[in-house]
Structure 1
C-alpha cells in the first residue's frame, strides 16, 4: 500500500517536463510535492493547492519557479 498520492499540476517539472506530481496521503500544508517521474522537489503542498486553484498561466508558473528556487537556500 502506497503512502503517497499522485496528481497533475498545470505547471510542468522544470527538470523533466512531467505534470505528474506526488504528495503524501496526509497532505499537510508543509508536505513536499515531488515530480513523480524524476523525483525533484517541486514545492510544498499548500503552494501546489494555490497553483491548482489558479490553473495554468504565468502566475502559476511564477509561483512554482519561486518555490523551486527557494529550495536551494
Structure 2
C-alpha cells in the first residue's frame, strides 16, 4: 500500500470517527459550544485534506508558471 493510500485510509477513518462524534453529541447551543465547533472544524479540515490528496497536482515549470497557461514559444 502506498503512503498516499495509507494517508487516505487514515483520513477516512478519522472522518468516520468525527462524523460519529458529531452524531452522538448532545444538542449544542448554537454559537456557544466550543467543543462542537471544534468537531465541525476538524471535519472540514479532514475533508479538505482528502480533497487535496485526490486533486490534480500542478508543478510550475519555467514555461508554465500557473495552471491553464499555454506553452511559451520562442
TM-score (norm 2): 0.31
Q: Which has the higher contact order (CA 8 A, sep 6+)?
A: 2
Would you tell me which structure has more helix in proportion to its own residues?
2
Q: Which has the larger radius of gyration?
A: 2
Would you tell me which structure has more strand in proportion to its own residues?
1
